[in-house]
Structure 1
C-alpha cells in the first residue's frame, strides 16, 4: 500500500509539474517528457529568423548545416539555434532521463531481456543445487545462524541456501548472480508465508539486509575510477566496505528490534564476530598491497569466486548424478528446466519494473527532482555542510530510484569536480553502499505478487539514509586532510 501510494504521488506530482510548467511558460514543449532521449538537447523556444539577434542570423546562414551553437563556458549549457522550415528552433541544456516511451522500450530491451538471460542461467544452476542435494547441505550448515535471524524459517529450509548465495554474490559485487539468487530466495520464503499477498517478517528482514548492500569488492566502482584516471582507483574500497557493513548492521538491528529478535544469542554474536574478523583481515591484507597488486586482486577475486560457484555446482552434480537418475532426469535437462523457470520469472516481473522506471523517468524529466535536490543542497550548505559534500548529494538522492541515473551523476561529479576530489570519491561511496530501493522492491515483491509490503519501504529508506550519513563521515575521515 505504501509503495503504491508513493508511486502514485511521484507520477501525479510530476505530471502536474510538467503541465504547470507548460502553461506558465517555464517550458516550451512537453514532447521530451514523452519521446526524448537521455542527454538530448531540450527545445526551449521557436522563433522566426528575423526575431533572433543579427549576428546569430548571419552565422546560421553561413553554416552549411544551418545551425549555430553558443558555448559561453563549461558550466552553463550550450544554446543551439537550428534553422528549418522558416523557423529557428532553440535548444539548451540536456535531458536528464529517457522519456516515457523510450523508458518503456529501455526497460524491456536493456533491463528485462538481459535479466531474463541471467535468471535463466543462474536458476538453471540453482535447480542443480536442489536436485543434487547441495542446497540442503548448505542449509544444514548455516541453520544455527539463520534460525536466530529468521526465526520463522524451519531448520534446514532451502531458502537459507538461496539467501546465502544472494548475500555472497552481493558481497563480491556479482550483481548478475545476486538477483537470480535473491528472487529464488523470495520465492522459497513465499512458500512459508501464510498471507500470500502480505510480506512476511522473514521476507522483510531479507529485503532490508539485501538493501544495505554489504560489498567487499566494489569492482565496477574501481573500474569507473580507473577510467577517469584516478591516482589510486581502489582507494575508495575500504570506505565502501565500512559504509556498507555499518548499513548492514543497522538494517539487522532496526528490523530485529521491530521483529523482537533475541540479540543475546551466542551463535549470532559469534557469527557477527567471525564476519567482522574476516572483513578486517581481508582489508588488512589488501591495504598492504601496492596499487598494481590491489587492482589485480580486486579485479580477479570476484570473477574467480563466480567461476568457483559454477564449477562446484557442476562437479557436485556429477558426483551425485544418481540423484538425477532417481528422478528420471539428467544434469543437463535439470539445468534446462531451471532455466525455463528463470525465464518465466523474468516475464512476470516486467510490468513491475516498467511501471516503476516510467514513474522515475517522469519525476526526473519534470524538473521536480532537480528542484528538491537543489533545495536540499542549499539547506545543507546553510547549516555548515561543505560544498564538496552537497555537490555529491544528487547521487545519494537518486540512488534509491535509479542505479543508472545515480551512476550518471557519479561519473559527472568525477569529471566536473575531479576524480580524486572529496566530491568524486564520496559520489562513488554513495553509489556503492546503497541499493536501488524502489527497483528492488518492485522486482522482488512483484515476482511473488506481494501487494502489502508493510514497513519494508520505510525501513529500506532508513537504511539508505544511514548509509548516506555513514558515507559522509567515513569519506571525511579518510580523505579530508
Structure 2
C-alpha cells in the first residue's frame, strides 16, 4: 500500500509539474519527456532568423551545416542554434533520463532481457544445488544462526541456503548472481507465508538486509575510478565496506527491534564477531598490498569466487548423480528445469519493473527532482555543511530511485571535481553504500505478488539515510 501510494505520488506530482511548467512558459515542449533520450539536447525555443542577434545570424549563414554552437563551457551544457526551413531551433541543457517511450523499450531490452538471462542460468544452478542435496547440507550448517535472525523459518529450510548465496554474492559484488539467489529466497519464504498478499517478517528482514548492500569488493566503483584516472582507484574500498557494514547493522537492528529478535543469542553474537573478524582480517591483508597488488586482488577475487561456486555445484552434482536418477532426471535436465523457472520469474516481474522505471523517468525529466535536490543542497549549505559534501548529495538522493542515474551523477562528480577530490570520493561511497530501494522492492515483491509490503519501504529508506550520514562521517575520517 505504501509503495503504491508513493508510486502514484511520484507520477502525479511529476505530471502536474510538467503541465504547470509548460503553461507558465518554463518549458517549450513536452516531447522530450515522452520521446527524448538521455543526454539529448533539450529544445527550449524556436525563432525566426531575424529575431536572433546579428552575430548568430551571420555565423549560421557561414556555417556549412547551418548550425552554430555557442557558450562552450566545461560546467554548463552548450547552447545550439539550428537553422532549418526558415526558423532557428534553440537547444540547451541535457535530458536527465530517457523519456517514457524509450524507457519502456530500454527496460525490456537493457534491464529485463539481461536479467532473464542471469535468472535462467543461476536458477538452473540452484536447481542442481537442490536436487544434489547441497542446499540441504548448507541449510543444516547455518540453521543455528539463521533461525535466530528469522525465527519463523524452520530449521534446515531451503530458503536458508538461498539467502546465504544471496548475501555471499552481494558481499563479493556479484550483482548478476545476487538477484537470482534473492528471488529464489523470496519465493521459498513465500511458501511459509500464511498471508500471501502480505509481506512476512522473514521476507522483510531478508529484503532489508539485502538492500543494505554489505559489499566487500566494490569492483564496479574501482573500475569507474580507474577509468577517470584516480591515483589509487581502490582507496575508497575500505570506506565503502565500513559504510555498507554500518547500513547492514542498522537494518538488522531496526527490523530486529520491530520483530522482537533476541539479540543476546550466543550463536548470533558469535556469527557477528566472526563476520567482523573476517572483514578486519581481509582489510588488514589488502592494506599491506601495493597499488598494483590491490587492483589485482580486488579485480580477481569476485570472479574467482563465482567460478568456484559454479565449479562446486557441477562437481557436487556429478558426484551425487544417483540422486538425480532417483528423481527420474539428469544433471542437465535439472539445470534446464531450473533455467525455465528463472525465465518465467523474469517475465513475471517485468510489469513491476516497468511501472517503477517509467515513474522515475517522469520524475527526473519533469525537473521536480532537480528542484528538490537543489533545495536540499541549498538548505545544507546554509547550515554550514561543506560545499564538497553538498556537491555529492545528488548521488545519495537518486540512489534509492535509480542506480544508473546515481551512477551518472557519480561519474559527473569525478569528471567535474576530479576523482581524488573529497566530492569525487564521497560520491563513490554514496553509490556503493546502499541498494536501489524502489527497484528492489518492485522486483522482489513483484516476483511473489505481495501487495502489502508493510514497513519495508520506510525501513529501507531510513537505512539509506543512515548510510548517507555514515558515508559523510567515514569519508571525512579517511580523506
User: Normalising by the residue count of structure 1, what TM-score does the alignment of the two structures yield?
Assistant: 0.99
* 1:287-436 matched pairs, under 5 angstroms: 287-436=287-436
Distance 2:187 2:74 in 1: 50
Q: Which residue of 1 aligns with 2:445?
A: 445
Residue 271 (str. 1) matches residue 276 (str. 2): no
Matched, 1:202 2:202: yes
**Aligned match of 2:457:** 457
Cα displacement (A) at 1:230 = 0.4
Aligned position for 1:81: 81
**Quick check: 2:68–2:80 contact (8 Å CA) kept in 1?**
yes
Q: Is the 8 A contact 2:75 2:416 kept in 1?
A: no
Q: CA deviation at 1:85?
A: 1.3
Partner Cα separation in structure 2 for residue 355 and residue 264 of structure 1: 42
Where structure 2 has 5 or more consecutive residues not aligned to the other structure, the ranges are none
Measured against aligned partners, the alpha-carbon deviations of 1:246-273 in whole angstroms (never above 9, x if no partner) come to: 1100100000000001111011001000
SS at match of 2:260: coil
1:82-121 to 2 correspondence within 5 Å?
Answer: 82-121=82-121
SS at structure 2 position matched to 1:80: strand
The answer for the alignment partner of 2:152 in structure 1 is 152
Question: Where does residue 230 of structure 1 map in the other structure?
Answer: 230
CA distance in 2, matches of 1:376, 1:132: 54
Provide, for residues 204-225 of structure 1, a one-character-per-residue CA deviation record: whole Å limited to 9, x for no partner: 0001001110000000000000
Runs of 4+ in structure 1 off by over 6 angstroms are: none
What secondary structure sits across from 1:406 in the alignment? helix
Distance 2:440 2:293 in 1: 34
* SS at structure 2 position matched to 1:191: helix
Tell me how large the CA RMSD over aligned residues is. 0.5
Q: Shift in Å at residue 76 of structure 1?
A: 2.4
**CA–CA distance in structure 1, aligned partners of residues 194 and 376 of structure 2:** 42
In structure 2, the residue matched to 1:191 is 191
Aligned to 1:172: 172
CA distance in 1 between counterparts of 2:125 and 2:223 reads 28
Q: Distance in 2 between matches of 1:42 and 1:206?
A: 42
- TM-superposition CA deviations, 1:249-298 (whole Å, max 9, x none): 01000000000011110110010000000000000000010000000000
Shift of residue 73, structure 1, vs aligned partner:
2.5
SS at match of 2:462: helix
The number of residue pairs the alignment matches comes to 479
Counterparts of 1:145 and 1:402 in 2: how far apart (Å)?
33
CA distance in 2, matches of 1:448, 1:271: 30
Aligned 8 A contact 2:81 2:91 in 1: yes
Please name the residue that 2:11 is paired with: 11
SS of residue paired to 1:81:
strand
Displacement of 1:384 in angstroms is: 1.0
| TM-score w.r.t. length of structure 2 | 1.00
